[in-house]
Structures are given as structure tokens and as C-alpha cells.
Structure 1
Amino acid sequence: MLVIEYKIKAKQFQYRAIKEAIRTVQFIRNKSIRYWIDAPREAKIDRFALNKYSTELRNEFQFVKDLNSMAVQAATERGWQAISRFYDNCKSKKLGKKGYPQFQRDNRSVEYKTSGWSLNSTKRRITITDKKGIGELKLLGKWDIHTYPVKAIKRVRLVRRADGYYCQFCVDVELSDTQPKTGKEIGLDLGLESFYTDSNGHQEPNPKFLRKAEPSIRNAQRQIYKKKKGSNNRRSSLARYSKKHLRVSRQRTEHAKRLARHVCKSNDLVAYEDLRVSNMLKNYCLAKSIADASWYQFREWIEHFATKFGKSAVAVSPHYTSSECSQCKRIVKKSLSTRTHVCTCGCILHRDTNAAINILLKAKSRDGQSRSNANGVGTSTLLGATLVEQVLTLKLESPSF
């Protein structure tokens, strides 16, 4: 799967129409969850029942009927995804909260399937053909959607962000760019002192995008509360605040993308720790720094590029990678503040370098998990199935890398 994204240029009434369509999607999703909550216990509510319920909503509410029928179905499928995730967590006896479906308050996208839109045959323009009044939108971007057949476009999504509206195309194509073998292998130990340390001793600096932007973000947040509620000045201040967070998010993505591409292109085998980042974020002392490092995003891009380039990416268990000596395999206990590994066998290494070597050795001995599989770009929908059943949307990597 490939996701191509353009920025939208339109008139003010078209932006208002897109906003109305997005609010309608939120209304349908919330009504679907309410329908599931209020249903009798003996009633079987599945995605087919919710799709049938969407027809009732179209007959009852004119603003729902104005939205394309497949977009209405996609909205109910978003509700079913939240319900099915709750069921799966209960069946698997997940510890802690099971993720009971919640009503959405700030939906930011509307998704069309194979109808409700049409592409201009010569120009980068898309026309939304339902009765919401969106009309023809100009697409700004460097990618050419016309190089792909229209039948290969399985989803079209309009997304609202802090700096405007975007149009995403989910294209059913296989991504492959097999790179020549280099004969090199590398192990990566992720950390906070440095973004990662590899088995060759190289330490990639941690950019700390959020920490650097925090003074500006805090100032922008203070400006919001100085403005009167409901005023245009308050909305403008909120927009400036949102744009600063959006910039940090994009910096993290580009940083992870650039490093992952370089690592996968330069090595035949990339080994990394199978970290449970969600559990690590429960440490309130380090949660902000861990989130700022964006380890999980880096891992997903490694898996993506490894599959695209025909390389191997192996996730290994992180247990004892820091305490075990990479030479004699003796366990050397050390506190988190101890940054140098010193063993009685004479091995003296930086703590993270020792861990990276152990990660690589585990991967080579096949102690790790099976090779990562990242077939192209993950989208928020499964083709022919329910909407938003996968958790991440990755855009096509920048050509300048």
C-alpha cells in the first residue's frame, strides 16, 4: 500500500463544507457506538448490523444523507473498529483498561471509498461529488497521482490539520527497490542520552525536538488563556499553538525516516530491541523524554525500508542486553547511571555499545523474533474490510533522502 498526500487549495465555502463533512462522520461514529451501548444484551451487533444502521441514519437525518453512502459506511466502520478492539482486549485478558469505546470529540478526517469522488483527467484536481457542496479541490504537491490507474486508488481521505486541509490517496501498489548487498550487519540500542548507539560504536545524537520547542510552545499556550473565550484572537492563538506541535511531530517523522533509510540501505541485517514503548511511558519521570525520542516510529520505518530494500530487520528481546558482557557472556550488574561496561575479562566498552553488540549477536544466533514484515506503507484501512483496522498511516518517503 502507498499513501500519497497533497495539500488542498480551495475557497472558504469549500473548507466549511469539508469541516461539515468531518463533523458528520463524527456524528455517525458516535451514534453507532451509542446504538451498540443501548442494544439489548441478546442482540448481536457486528459491523454488518452497524452498516445497516447507517442506512437508518441516512433516512432520519438529511445532513447524513448528503454525505456519500460509502463515506457513511466508513464512518460506522470506525465505530466498529473501536468496539472490536474492546472485544479483542477482553478475550485476550489484557491487563489494565480494556479500551471501552469512547465518544469522539475532535474528528479530523472524512474518508471516501471507491465512489463520491472523481479525478480530473489532466490536472491535479479532485471533485467530491456528494451533496455536501465541497466541489472541485486543487491538489498541491510534487507527486503525480495520474501515473497510477484510478482502479488502484482504494481510498480518498480529506484530513484537517493545524496548517490546513490535506487529501490522501491510498493506492494499491507494491513498493520494491531492491538494494545491492553490502555484507554489513548492525545492532541498534535505543536510548535517551543518544538516539541510538550501534554495534560499531557510533552514537547518533538525540535531537530532542520537543525539549527545544518547549519554551515557544509554553509561550503560545499562555497566549491562549489571555484571550477571551470564543473570540477570533483566541482561535488564532490556538492555531499558532497547534502549528508548533505539528512542526515537532513532522520533525520527529523526518528524523526517524532519514535515519531508518540510511541504516537499512547501508546494512544487510538490522537488529534492534523489541521494546514495549507503551509500558515504558508509564514511568512518569521519563515519559516525556521517551515520547520525544519516538522509538516506535523509528522501528516502523526500519521495518518499512527493510522490506522495500530486500534487507533483514530482526527484533530481539531486550532482556540482559545491557548487563551481559558481549565477550565472555558474564552478567555484570550496573545501575542506570553507570555508563561504562567493565568486565573482569578485560572488556571495557560504553554501556550502550556493549548492548548493541549483544543485540546483534542475538539476532545472528536467531534468538530474536522472526524477520520483520512491513509490506509497503500501512494505511488506516484494510482493503475490502473495515475502516481504520490498522493503526498507522505512513506517507511515501521523501525523494531527497
Structure 2
Amino acid sequence: MIEVIAEILRGPVFLAGETLHCRITLTNKLSDENDSTNNQETSEKISWASVQLHCQRYVNEQKVNLQQQQLSNSTALIATKGETGQTVYTSKPCVLFCDLTLQPGETRIFSYSETISTHVPPTFRGSYVKYSYKLTIGTQRVNHPTTLIRVPFRVLVVPDLDKFIRQDKAAIASSQTGITVDNPFVSPNRTEIDSLTTALDALQILTSRAHQHVYNITNNRGRVCRFTLFKNNFKLGEDITGIIDFDHTDVSCLQYTVTLQSEEILNQHYRRKSSQFPNLTSFTKQSEFCLSTSQTYLSLSIPLSCTPTFSVDLVSIRWKLHFEFVISKTPRSLLSTNNDPSTSTIWLPSSSIDVESMTWDLGIKILPTNPCFANNVAKVSCTTVATI
């Protein structure tokens, strides 16, 4: 009996362009560990073992028309054997060994590393489509069928990462020739490209606060409020902060709700019906009563488990802040002024107010974060144990 342990090092979340490292441990385990006799008879031979990364795409056929689209990425080892859906990405297969013999109780450890392509979709589970990544180990004992062992992992994609890598390469080449290039992504002492470092530097630049954005939210009777957002690009795990100002407005607002929402938009060429709308998913929400409030603050957290903004041929994911306002149809009555300091004025709101509602959407962009942070909320195990 051979026990195989496949473990993805550092955790199950990676950025596209990053190198994945895996440790594969094979142990010849006796059925009775106390029996040390007949060692020659209990040695085990394994013909071969191979490793490969792949991404499977699953679609809701009731809503998505692939128009007989064919994807061909087959190899000698069919790592996706037994999987449903279509294979949209496979790495080159790597042969770990051939003709391996393990004595009773013997353990052999093999290492595997592969750089994930930057031209891949992120891990995503939506209503129309799903993208799932797995590391597959194929192995075969002598006179036994082939066994496939799979370890799932998550991929996040940084937009335009290739552009930042090219900038790094150009800056490094220029520094080696003595030409000074002002590139914020490259340290003067760097001599080679580190995709993870480049991606994290790019994310820092893309999500930095450049200037605040001010929006006047109005309806046909005038201004409802003024909303200030400090930036439009955010990373997973960040807080979306802003200021909602109700001072000097034309319309009285009684209550507001802000919801962080994602939109799964199916390319119109693949829709079963032309009337298919984007699939909306709501995440964090903030709601407050604001009658007679001059100013309040917005703070919405972005879950680390979310899928960042992305767009591929089949589907795209966009993010927005969805505002809902409950506003009064009649002007707010003014309080009378009392100049007598010995008395006080008590104001009570009306028992019933004639109201109406309005909505307003603001698009934002959500980008990946450091994969080490996302590992903390990963729902998949980075270790798989199997017996062959």
C-alpha cells in the first residue's frame, strides 16, 4: 500500500504569474506496521508519476450558449480525466519519476514547481460560469490502473501584470548598462524579475489614493446629498470609506442604505435569451436613519473571499456601490426659534411622513490582495492524502 501526500506550500491562494510549489511524499506503508518479516515481498514498484496544473470551466447550459465552442489542451497524461466542463488552461506536464521502488516503510519526497500563466481567468463561482483550478498528480503502480490525485487552489489575477513585468525588465536591463531609469516598480539592487513582488507593487500603485471624488446625488426636485469617496480602486480586504453630507440639500432624506454588489455580466453572444440581465450578488451593507443629520460616514468592508474585477471573452465581473434613499415628498418643517433661555423647545417628528424612494449606483474597481492574506479565509485544503 502506497500513501501519497500532495501539499501545496505557503497556502492555496496564488496570483497569476506567481510560481506554485508543491511537495509530493510517497510512503510504502505496511498493512501491519508491527510485522517486519517478508520485507522483500512487500516492496512496491511505481511505474511513473506526473504533475500538471489545469483550470476547468463549468457553464450553466440553461443560461449560456457556447455555440459548440471547442477547447483542446489534451496531453499524454489527461489530467482532466473524469472532470466535467471544458479545460481552458493546462500547464506542461512534469514527470516526477519513472520506475520507483519503495521498500517497506521507505519514504521518498519530490518537489514540483510551476509558474501560473498570466493569461488565465481568476477562480470564480458564479451563476452563469465557474472557473476552478486544480493540481493533478497522475501515478500508476505496476499492474494497477492509473490514479489521479487532485489538490484545489485559488488564482487571483492582477490586470495588465504583463505591462508591469515589461517595465521591470526594461528597467533592469537599463540599470545593467548604466542607464538610470526612474521606475517605481524596480529597486536599484534588483537583478531579476520576481512576479509576486512586481504584482504587489503594482497593486499598491493602482489602489493608492490619488485624489478624492465628490458626487452630487440629485433627483428631479434637487440635491439629495453629496457623497465623497477617497478613491475608486480597492483591494480585497480593504474598507470602502466615504462621507455622506446632507447639509444644504433641497430634499429631506430620512434613511439611506449602501450595499456592495457585484455584477456577473454574460457576453451577449453567449446568451440564451437577449433579455438576460446581469446576475447581482450583494455583500456588505450599511443602513442608517438620517433625518436631521448633517453628515455621516460610510464604511464597508470588502470580503477577502470575493472575486476581483475581471473580464474575459465569456463573462465579466464588475463592482458597484448601490445606494437606496428614502426621501420625504414634502419640505421638512423648520423649528421655531426660542430666545427665552429659561424655557426649552421640544421637537417631535411627525407620526406619518409621505415618502418615496430612489436609487443610485456608483461603479468601483476591486483588485486582488496579497495572497498570504487571502489564505486566511481560504475554504479549500492545500493538502490531499490518497492511497494507491
**TM score, norm. by length of structure 1:** 0.21
Judging by fraction of residues, say which structure has more helix: 1
Judging by fraction of residues, say which structure has more strand: 2
- Higher-Rg member (1/2): 2
